[in-house]
Amino acid sequence: MRGVMTLVGMDMGLLGEPHVIDEALSLAPAERADIVIDFAGYPGQQLTVVNTQAGSAPGRPVLDANIPHPEVIQFRVAQQSARAKPLPPVLSRSFRRLSSADVPLHAIERFVLTGYDKTGAMPQLWEMQDLGTDDPGDGPIVQVALPGGIRNLRCVATKFEDTTTYFAKPESWEKWTFINVAGVHTSISHPMHIHLMSFQIIDRRSVDPSGLAFRAVATRKPITVGDALPILPEESGWMDTVNVQPNSMVTIAGQFASATGKVVYHCHSLDHEDEGMMRPIVVMPTPINEIHMLLMAMMNRDT
């Protein structure tokens, strides 16, 4: 079915232009795609969309990947099928693909690592406090070798019940970096979903986390960042869920909605979410947020 499917939109709306899908369409739990299918070249045939795994035969169960029944949907094409109308070359004139240069300088930057608990068996969210590039002081530190220098991060939360540390303003720009530090553990992807936020991927890279001590949530040597990894067409638009592959780093940028309240971000794999890979975010009205952050800064300075 080469050239039959055309991608026109994803999680949060239309793309700028259509993308022909020549092979598979890669979607993690909670990721969505809008596609147009032209059946005119397959009159009278039955076409089945299957869930497959890289390296496996299409339509064959992959038990190791928890795909016992790969069939998703079957189309039964009429003997006479009209060809779909051509898609316009521009789908959305308001769409703009973001780059790092488009992110406002005042954007709030956050780091989240997906690691494992002390047993090495249970995936966890590690919410990190960004200590910058200066001397981090005492305590366990995770160091990441970014292009701008060694960034020092301290884990401040791993469970939903831990103290809330993320506070935001409505419509504020934010830049989040997710790092999946699988190490020698089971290689698991994590589709990370942020409530009330629309974003785009601005960078994806491989990482080497071999210097990470999982039990201490600290590094013996910095996590090193490797070459850029491709951003697929089905990841090139506005999203609310991003898949973070094992031993990779994904940086996203976007804006919160105008609403306020207590929401969450979490892994969208159901068992991971239910086992604790979820953390709160409080989106406050701007004046309240500014007072809150001032008080927090005063408390931190006093201690």
- Written as six digits, the tokens of 120 are 């090495």
Question: Of 27, 59, 76, which one is at a domain's C-terminal end?
Answer: 76
Please indicate, yes or no, if residue 93 is contained in any of the structural domains.
no
Question: Residue 188: what are its φ and ψ, rounded to 5°?
Answer: -130, 135
Burial classification of residue 278, based on how many CB atoms lie within 10 Å of its CB (0-12 exposed, 13-18 middle, 19 or more buried):
middle
Please indicate, yes or no, if residue 83 is contained in any of the structural domains.
no
Reported confidence tier of residue 220, pLDDT bands at 50, 70, 90: very high
Q: Is the pLDDT confidence value at 37 over 60?
A: yes
Domain count, the chain: 2
Nearest to 228 by CA among 203, 259, 197: 203
Q: Are 111 and 54 members of one domain?
A: no
Please indicate, yes or no, if residue 118 is contained in any of the structural domains.
yes
Q: Are 181 and 280 members of one domain?
A: yes
DSSP state of 103: S
The CA distance from 106 to 172, in Å, is 9
Q: Are 71 and 108 members of one domain?
A: no
Q: Are 129 and 228 members of one domain?
A: yes
Query: H/E element holding 191?
Result: strand 190-194
- Written as six digits, the tokens of 284 are 């406050």
Q: Is the pLDDT confidence value at 3 over 80?
A: no
Please indicate, yes or no, if residue 254 is contained in any of the structural domains.
yes
Q: Are 51 and 132 members of one domain?
A: no
Provide the pLDDT for residue 119.
75
Please indicate, yes or no, if residue 87 is contained in any of the structural domains.
no
- Taking residues 259-283, report their average pLDDT: 94
Q: Are 188 and 225 members of one domain?
A: yes
Please indicate, yes or no, if residue 81 is contained in any of the structural domains.
no
- Taking residues 25-38, report their average pLDDT: 91
Q: Are 152 and 258 members of one domain?
A: yes
- Written as six digits, the tokens of 77 are 């094409």
Q: Is the pLDDT confidence value at 209 over 80?
A: yes
- Written as six digits, the tokens of 265 are 């971000």
Q: How far is CA 302 from CA 136, 142, 153, 281, in A?
A: 17, 25, 21, 25
Q: Are 10 and 158 members of one domain?
A: no
- Taking residues 83-92, report their average pLDDT: 88
Q: What is the CA radius of gyration of the chain?
A: 22
Q: Are 28 and 135 members of one domain?
A: no
Q: Is the pLDDT confidence value at 91 over 80?
A: yes
Q: Are 30 and 155 members of one domain?
A: no
Range of the domain at 222: 101-302
Please indicate, yes or no, if residue 218 is contained in any of the structural domains.
yes
Q: Are 9 and 158 members of one domain?
A: no
Q: Are 163 and 23 members of one domain?
A: no
Summarised one tens digit per residue, pLDDT across range 97-121 is 999 999 999 999 999 999 888 777 7
Classify strands 123-130 and 278-283 as parallel, antiparallel or unpaired: unpaired
Burial classification of residue 86, based on how many CB atoms lie within 10 Å of its CB (0-12 exposed, 13-18 middle, 19 or more buried):
exposed
Please indicate, yes or no, if residue 65 is contained in any of the structural domains.
yes
Question: Residue 241: what are its φ and ψ, rounded to 5°?
Answer: -140, 135
Which CATH number is 177's domain given? 2.60.40.420
